[in-house]
């Protein structure tokens, strides 16, 4: 019986075991801000990555935010999917803040301003699935209303006197 030899460079199917949200053989990385500095309270693990040679068109990453931790408020041309695995937190999609709990799934559309934040007392962990080939995040430009000369900082609806 003739068997076709398998090329030695061909990837093999595998399971990457995990315990307590740490995957064997996967490096725990510090999360970086948009300027390249590390962010305290946020870590990531790249579980499977087409960008690193695995023959898939996407990357699967696990992020974990300690209480008070957050990701960048950013936008980019690629879409991604976030799936809550541990605890709960909030996702900001544009101006809306929504709760993300265990097994909740969130779609972030291309160019949608977004960030995730842990506003609870326990770790918030989630999978983030993105295209293997993608652009880098860029900061969201926020519009701020310009105050006219002499106007005080707003409290409530308006700092201006009502028109009679």
Q: Which domain holds residue 78?
A: 31-132
What pLDDT is recorded for position 144? 60
What pLDDT is recorded for position 68? 96
Q: Per residue in 119-151, pLDDT tens?
A: 999 999 999 999 999 989 999 987 664 544 544
What pLDDT is recorded for position 64? 98
Q: Per residue in 5-31, pLDDT tens?
A: 444 455 788 899 999 999 999 999 999
What pLDDT is recorded for position 148? 46
Q: Structural domain tally of the chain?
A: 1
Is position 14 within any domain? Answer: no
Is position 103 within any domain? Answer: yes
User: Does residue 69 surpass a pLDDT of 80?
Assistant: yes
Is position 150 within any domain? Answer: no
Is position 151 within any domain? Answer: no
Is position 10 within any domain? Answer: no
CATH (domain of 49): 2.60.120.10
What pLDDT is recorded for position 152? 52
Is position 148 within any domain? Answer: no
Q: What percent of the chain is modeled with pLDDT above 90? A: 70
Q: What is the 3-state secondary structure (H, E, C) of the chain?
A: CCCCCCCCCCCCCCCCCEECCEECCCCCEEEECCCCCEEEEEEEEEEEEHHHCCCCCEEEEEEEECCCCECCCEECCCCEEEEEEECCEEEEECCEEEEECCCCEEEECCCCCEEEECCCCCCEEEEEEEECCCCCCEECCCCCCCCCCCCCCCCCCCCCCCCC
pLDDT band at 155 (very low <50, low <70, confident <90, very high): low
What pLDDT is recorded for position 158? 43
What pLDDT is recorded for position 153? 54
Q: Specify the length of the chain in residues.
A: 164
What pLDDT is recorded for position 88? 98
Is position 139 within any domain? Answer: no
Is position 12 within any domain? Answer: no
For the segment 67-87, the average pLDDT, to the nearest whole number, is: 97
């Amino acid at each position: 019986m003739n068997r076709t030899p398998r090329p030695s460079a061909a990837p093999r199917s595998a399971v990457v075991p995990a315990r307590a949200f740490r995957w064997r053989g996967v490096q725990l990385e510090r999360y970086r801000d948009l300027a390249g500095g590390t962010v305290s309270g946020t870590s990531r693990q790249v579980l499977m990555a087409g960008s690193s040679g695995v023959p898939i068109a996407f990357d699967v990453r696990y992020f974990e935010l300690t209480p008070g931790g957050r990701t960048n408020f950013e936008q980019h041309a690629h879409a991604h999917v976030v799936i809550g695995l541990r605890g709960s937190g909030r996702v900001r999609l544009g101006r809306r803040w929504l709760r993300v709990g265990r097994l909740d799934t969130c779609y972030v559309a291309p160019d949608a301003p977004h960030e995730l934040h842990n506003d609870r007392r326990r770790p918030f962990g989630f999978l983030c699935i993105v295209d293997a080939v993608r652009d880098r995040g860029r900061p969201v430009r926020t519009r701020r209303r310009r105050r006219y000369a002499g106007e005080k900082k707003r409290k409530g609806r308006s700092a201006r006197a009502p028109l009679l």
